[in-house]
Amino acid sequence: MIDPLFQPVAIGSLEMKNRIVMPPMHLNMCEDYKVTDRLIDFYRPRVAGGAGLVSVGYATVDTLSGNTCNIGAHDDRFLPGLARLAAAIKEGGARAAVQLNHAGRYNHSFFLGGRKPIAPSSVASKLTRETPRKMEEEDIAAVQQAFAEAAQRVVHAGFDMVEVLAGTGYLISEFLSPLTNNRTDQYGGCLENRMRFGLEVVRSVRSQIGSFPLLVRVNGNDFMEGGCGSEELLRFAEALTEAGVDGLSVNVGWHEARIPQIVGKVPRGGFAYQARRVRDVTGVPVIASHRINDALVGRNLIAHGFCDMVAMGRALIADPELPNKARTGREDETVHCVACGQGCFDNLVRMKAVECLCNPVAGRERQYRLQKTQRPQKILVAGGGPAGMYAALAARSKGHAVTLYEKSMRLGGQLRLAGASPGRREFLGLAEDLQRRLEVSGVSVILNREIDGPLLQEEAPYAVIAATGGRPAVPDIEGAEQDHVLQAWDVLAGRPLMGTRVVIIGGGAVGVETALMVAAMGTLSGEELKFLLTSGAESIEELRRLAIQGSKEVSVVEMGEKIGANFGRSTKWTMLQDVRSCGIDTRTGLRVCRIEEGGVVVDDDGAEELIPADSVVLAVGTLPHNPLEKAAAKLQILCKVAGDARKPATVLEAAHQGYRAGMGIS
């Protein structure tokens, strides 16, 4: 039987060799709207990795539609760069598309030289905290013409298809939604009027490009209270096909929506049902998206009629070779995106180029291009966490003989702890993925053995990489040594038993993750909930309560003014939303005085208060654990230090430090 992922498929007159799409993702790799070598270098491995269609962008249609880090399509001076990018994608064997978009009220005046962004109505954005200027009819006509002219440039540059973004809270969807469109003219009011702007954009583009393939990305549901739901958006999808669209790419949600869309708690392929709805009513090829990071998921979605193609954006950042691995029977070698958002979306907020926790080379393809060493050496790596595993892989890729020692009985380190909290299981998968990569690459792994001075002397390696991790900090708090006081790491590892009332000291990322894990104890599983739902055994309200209300009373005590301060932006709001929904009591601005048998005594603005607790959990930070560096120095062995052994770091920082350490050994 032919694998559904690798059957040819056509959108309009354009045929693709397979059904894997790398969708448009803003990468912050352009300079003054111009395509850079860095951007082209980023896409080359994704094309070589076997994707059937690569769509880039989004690209600007005028000077109010984006910022200088976007791909520019609003002026002829950008044609040479666009042509270089198109050629690079097509030379690698993929079809090439460009997504055109106008940000509308999602743009910032900071990027526009102080000019106000434009929108259908002057409705403030929670995302930017700015109020846009209402578009007049001449603005509407100008933007529609700008879309058409930009599309024509895409054709001239040599791309195979034009894509228009009509969702996600940007300009076209702002016209569609009654939340952001309170106009009283022909572009506001009833759905037919609110659809008018987007349909006219599509018709304007079609008039310029003729029969050239045209794809539109739409929402299946805005997930905005009072906005457009599935029914209205299905009508819009039907109208788009009547207007001449050749295919539809379906996503969900606005950037302001409070429904998680891209984080790890979203099940793989969990929003593909929206694509199936669109496919059922339109009859044109449909692309499903969101959290499709595995070939098996994509294959099943296509086989079961949810979609015709699958978008794998962050999945192909994490592993550009995913399509080739699936095609050649090596799916077990895939490194899966963990949906952490640390290197992709969080970097965009920081005005940095996209990078990846799972793939340290992403975004640095030229800088990290590995050259095989002319002098292979014996390299030892101490520690099997993310820093150690990436260090071993990088050193082995250079041709060195690498042995990794892990003092425990399994690899993973902090990945095992990060994956223990609800919605974070992808980190456990990454530990397994990296272990498989070590096996395939030829790294020798020795478990239950720690590198020390005698072993170094016996093995006499050319270099050792110390990725020995950290140890949990113990605060100087009276009573912290008592039996009912636990470390968060032990809780996340699933070792200790706890009482009913649990107080967690420390409201950083580890404290919040631990609190969520404890709060989930005693809740029903997804399988149990599905059984009760389909059997009609309980009401929806009761099932929701059983899903989130466990057997523990959990409190988090934090000295600072906020909890979760060290979460990345794309993850933080979802974690704190879960904290609220689970009923976790959060207490900030409190100093812990002492721990007693019956609870935790805190100082609240000069007054002592006892917070009752049967168990107390410490989540107050990490200290470096690096006993190896001095031993290596005594033996005059080169030693590189990475991850928490060097300085407490995020998993992303540990992975990148480890990779740099491994590739830095010449």
H/E stretch holding 311 = strand 309-311
pLDDT at site 597: 93
Q: Which two tokens stand for residue 249?
A: 């790419």
Signed CA dihedral, 485, 490, 492, 497: sign only: negative
Give yes or no for a contact between 289 and 218, defined as CB atoms under 8 angstroms apart: no
pLDDT at site 369: 87
Cα dihedral 580/584/589/595 (nearest 10): -170
Radius of gyration of the chain (CA): 27
Domains of the chain: 4-349 (3.20.20.70), 378-471+623-663 (3.40.50.720), 485-620 (3.50.50.60)
Sort strands 214-219 and 118-119 into parallel, antiparallel or unpaired: unpaired
pLDDT in tens, 597-620: 999 999 988 899 999 999 999 999
pLDDT at site 642: 97
Give yes or no for a contact between 121 and 182, defined as CB atoms under 8 angstroms apart: yes
| pLDDT mean values, one per 10 residues, the chain (666 residues) | 93 98 97 98 98 98 97 98 98 97 96 95 93 97 98 98 97 98 98 98 98 98 95 98 97 94 94 97 97 97 98 98 97 96 92 96 93 94 98 97 97 94 94 98 97 96 97 94 95 90 96 96 95 96 95 96 89 92 95 95 93 97 95 96 94 96 94
Candidates 313, 267, 307; CA nearest to 288 is 307
pLDDT at site 570: 87
DSSP state of 524: P
Candidates 292, 14, 277, 55; CA nearest to 165 is 55
pLDDT in tens, 10-63: 999 999 999 999 999 999 999 999 999 999 999 999 999 999 999 999 999 999
Signed CA dihedral, 192, 194, 200, 202: sign only: negative
Cα dihedral 386/20/349/622 (nearest 10): -10
Specify the 3-state DSSP secondary structure of 533. helix
Question: Where would I find the H helices in 306-425?
Answer: 313-318, 322-327, 345-349, 386-397, 414-418
Q: Which two tokens stand for residue 325?
A: 């691995």
DSSP state of 132: P
pLDDT at site 263: 93
pLDDT at site 488: 96
If phi > 0 it is left, if psi is from -120 to 50 it is alpha, else beta; for residue 300 that is alpha
pLDDT at site 568: 86
Give the count of alpha carbons within 13 A of 414, CB side only.
Answer: 24
Instruction: Output the DSSP codes for 64-82.
Output: TSS-TTSEE-SSGGGHHHH
CA distance 661 to 500: 45
CA distance 520 to 3: 39
Give yes or no for a contact between 291 and 275, defined as CB atoms under 8 angstroms apart: no
H/E stretch holding 530 = helix 526-535
H/E stretch holding 622 = strand 622-624
